[in-house]
Structure 1
Amino acid sequence: MRILLIGAGGTLGTAVRTALTARGHQVVTVGRTSGDLRHDLTEPEQIAAMYAAAGELDAVVGAAGDTPFKPLPELTGPEWTAAFRGKVLSQLELVRQGTGRISPRGSFTLISGVLARSPIPTGAAASMANGAVEAFVRAAAIEIAPQRINAVSPTVFTESLGDYGDYFPGFRPVPPAEVAQAYIRSVEGGQTGQVYTLD
């Protein structure tokens, strides 16, 4: 398959790229500052330009999305908006524009996260964004068939414990290579409207 991978330069994206290429897929990478294509996917016109440059695709895979971590009373309106725009609207727009750009039986795999179901202090913006992505996946699945859409929802990565471990006390960390297998399941499998959890 020819697969567009968003966020290929990050911790998760690197693992997903390795897993996909090991299985013989052709991966076109996208990032803000690195990758085969360089676009800011918080801008709808940049998503259109990305698809125009990417050519024919069988699948689109998202492995990036930023949200702030701050105590709820300190979160500002612009920060809520940035979280929604950076993780939710960017991925929704990938699908909205992408249904006409991927093969008729192609797929989308989005990224959410454990905070949709297990919130933590300072994680309200991330919980909001992850929950919205997962709700969208379930709704979109019934509208875009026979194309498919799923989300991968991991907990904190083992490689990120040094930076984020204190935010996730008692959570079992997961290696990015294990998360990448959920992407393989989504891309190569037959399910749609699923949220693959790793926690």
Structure 2
Amino acid sequence: MKVVVIGATGTIGQAIIQALSTRHQIVQVGRSKGEYQVDMTSKDSVQKLFETIAPFDAVISAAGQARFKPLEALTDEDFQFSLGHKLMGQVNLVRVGLGYVNDNGSFTLTSGVLAGEPMPGSAAISLVNAGVEGFARAAALEAPRSIRVNVVSPPWVSETLEAMGKSGSDGLPAAQVAAAYVESVESQRTGEILDARSFGS
């Protein structure tokens, strides 16, 4: 399959590519690096990307930023940033991508465990993560041509925690997180939220 990985240069993106590259053709897309670039907040940018690289069989989004701050410190701009990047950015990958993906193709989006397991400071992130999951469940019901839509929900990633100077043992290694994305692409699942903690070894 020809698999488009958006967020290819990130920690999870690199692990996904490593997991899939021996069996599939990978197109690496980043915000400023990679084979191709895309601004997920711009529907026009998404359209131009897909026009350039189509046709393809699967799109994986391992991208999308959101702000982490105490509730009283979150500004309107923080919420708009989070909604524009992680929620609508990924929603538009599906909305636009449906016109370019092959029959029986798939979209795999990224939320995170803070959707259902919030913590202080996660109001904006929990909001957009839950929005991504709700969108995917509904979109899977309407996607044409047997196209599948799933979401992977990763916990904190060990490598990210270590980069922040924290203990990696409190997270899940990126290679294990990547196993959930592989399952979404290679299985026949649709409309599901795949908890990355349930995959890999």
Q: TM-score normalised by the shorter chain: which range applies? A: over 0.9
The one-letter code matched in structure 2 to 1:194 is E
Deviation of residue 55 (structure 1)? 2.0
Structure 2 residue runs without a partner (length 5+) = none
The aligned amino acid for 2:51 is: A
**Amino acid in the other structure paired with 1:21:** S
1:178–1:56 Cα change, 3 Å:
same
Q: Percent identity?
A: 41
For the pair 1:10 / 2:10, whether they are aligned, the reply is yes
For 2:130 and 2:165, locate their aligned partners in 1 and report how far apart those are by CA, in whole Å: 20
1:32 CA drift (Å)? 1.3
Which residue pairs with 2:88 in the alignment? Answer: 89
Task: Describe the SS at the equivalent of 2:21.
Answer: helix
Counterpart of 1:149, as a letter, is V
Whether contact under 8 Å (2:55, 2:100) holds in the other structure is yes
- 1:182 is aligned to 2:180: yes
Map residues 37-52 of structure 1 onto 2, 5 A cutoff. 37-52=36-51
CA contact (8 A) 1:156 1:164 kept: no
Counterpart in the other structure of 1:114 = 113
2:183 maps to amino acid: R
Residue 134 of structure 1 and its aligned partner are, at CA, apart by 0.3
User: In structure 1, how many angstroms separate the alpha carbons of the residues matched to 2:123 and 2:132?
Assistant: 14
The answer for the alignment partner of 1:155 in structure 2 is 155
Structure 1 counterpart of 2:158, one-letter code:
T
Deviation at 1:177, TM superposition (A): 0.5
Query: What's the RMSD between the two structures over aligned residues?
Result: 1.4
1:104 maps to 2:84: no
CA distance in 2, matches of 1:193, 1:39: 25
Given that 1:42 and 1:86 are in contact with CA atoms closer than 8 Å, whether structure 2 keeps it comes out as yes
Is the 1:110–1:150 Cα contact (8 Å) retained in structure 2?
yes
C-alpha displacement of 1:164: 7.9
SS in 1 for 2:151: strand
Q: Which sections of structure 1, spanning at least 5 residues, go unmatched?
A: none
Q: TM-score, normalised by structure 2?
A: 0.93
Which range is displaced more, 83-92 or 155-164? 155-164
Report matched runs for 1:122-161 at 5 Å: 122-145=121-144, 146-161=146-161
With over 3 angstroms needed to count, the CA separation of the structure-2 counterparts of 1:112 and 1:165, relative to structure 1, is farther
Give the letter aligned to residue 104 of structure 2: R
Q: Between Structure 1 and Structure 2, how many residues are aligned?
A: 194
